[in-house]
Structure 1
């Protein structure tokens, strides 16, 4: 298996693991306690992003590197992605509060939505890392 294929497989496994974890954590009812949970889920997503970065580049993602990456992506893209992320987390929190009243069926829907959102953002980050890695490998030293 090529090095890039191995990295892609590891990234997919990491995304699946974190997405399942987010979905599972979102399933249990916590009336009135969604904001702290969403903060914890956001921290989990950040761990997912840094783990994917480490898979591709065998280095920890520092805050300086993160700022450089965000600059490279362009402020418009960063603002749009950040806004979409905040809106998705807020929407999940609202959906979760409503689903607390609907019982297990609502909890399952919330788990699926939360896991999907984490997965989508993880896939987008993995695509960025994959593209960056491919460009670095193709460039001669």
Structure 2
């Protein structure tokens, strides 16, 4: 199964590795998740994009991401994050790595999305967690994610 998943993972990573038009905290996230190009990510956009991500990694098309599929998903996300951390933004700034649970990547982890604790994530679980994920990233509580929700808080 690993051979079937690897080409999909590579394609997804390549898709996510587009050069940033305006580097800085949150730019890569907004570029990938803002489907209508208005500079903000809504829950609906997040749910639609999460559906695309899920389909890319559900190699056996059983509507679950099992541990093996999730391992490749985690590798692709880590590579994408490493390749796209803005220049001049060390760990703790760029994509929010230093914000603990507020890091967007944390909302994609198996243990966060496995609501029923069965060791795998169903498509329903993954898409259903879009609301909580956007809420977690939305630092100012306005219901959408913009670049203002990333980077160090003012005064830091």
The structure in which a higher percent of residues are helix is: 1
What TM-score results when the alignment is normalised by the length of structure 2?
0.38
Q: State which structure, 1 or 2, has the greater radius of gyration over its C-alpha atoms.
A: 1
Structure number with greater CO (CA < 8 Å, separation at least 6) is 1
TM, length-normalised to structure 1: 0.41
